[in-house]
Amino acid sequence: MSREGLGDARSQGEDASSQGRAKVVRSESEWKERLTPEQYRITRKAGTERAFTGEYWNTKTPGTYSCACCGAPLFSSRTKFDSGTGWPSFWNAVASEAVEEREDRSLFMRRTEVLCATCDAHLGHVFPDGPRPTGRRYCINSASLKLEPEGEEGG
Ligand code: FE
């Protein structure tokens, strides 16, 4: 029995508005249709792209990095820094409510997973060894992001 019948992207506006935002909910098959296989593997299955292979690890273009799944703004180029890890790294999110954090004990490690607060896309992990002023390092997969360059549309 498949869950596809549940599928229509429903934006739970009324419910979620009490928490200040609307959730984007889609079925697995819908995400599969809308994303590339690499994006699907990473964002919906908590995968990781290989270091130095993603689209944005070395990008310095000013702009906003939005969620590859739902388009919600997540990170700004203004907080991007060169971590040397081969993944796009940020010392803060655009807003604290843009992302959610969750304990991740997979792979015999204890890490903090970072997800899109709007659609629950897996983005990457956050570590406590980042630069000032936050001291945080959001280590994010390029495949979870889409850069909207500044000035191109209301930038
Ligand atoms: Fe999202």
Q: Which domain holds residue 50?
A: 6-149
- Asked about 67 being catalytic, the answer comes back as no
pLDDT band for position 4 (cuts 50, 70, 90): very low
In a domain, 1, yes or no: no
* 19-to-12, 16, 23, 36 alpha-carbon distances in Å: 11, 5, 10, 31
Q: Is the pLDDT reported for residue 69 higher than 80?
A: yes
pLDDT digits (tens, 9 = 90+) for 42-56: 999 999 999 999 999
In a domain, 61, yes or no: yes
Task: Mark the residues whose beta carbon lies below 5 A from ion ligand 1.
Answer: 67, 69-70, 72, 116, 118-119, 121
In a domain, 33, yes or no: yes
Q: What is the CATH number of the domain that holds 111?
A: 2.170.150.20
In a domain, 71, yes or no: yes
In a domain, 154, yes or no: no
Tell me what the pLDDT averaged over the chain comes to: 89
User: Count of domains in the chain?
Assistant: 1
pLDDT band for position 17 (cuts 50, 70, 90): very low
**How far does the centroid of ligand 1 lie from the alpha carbon of residue 81, in Å?**
22
Residue 150 CB coordination number (10 Å): 15
Amino acid at position 19, single letter? Q
This prediction has a pTM of 0.85
Instruction: Answer whether the bond into residue 88 is a cis peptide, omega within 30°.
Output: no
**How far does the centroid of ligand 1 lie from the alpha carbon of residue 89, in Å?**
18
In a domain, 155, yes or no: no
In a domain, 76, yes or no: yes
Query: Among residues of the chain, what percentage have pLDDT more than 90?
Result: 83
The pLDDT assigned to 151 comes to 82
In a domain, 124, yes or no: yes
pLDDT digits (tens, 9 = 90+) for 76-114: 999 999 999 999 999 999 999 999 999 999 999 999 999
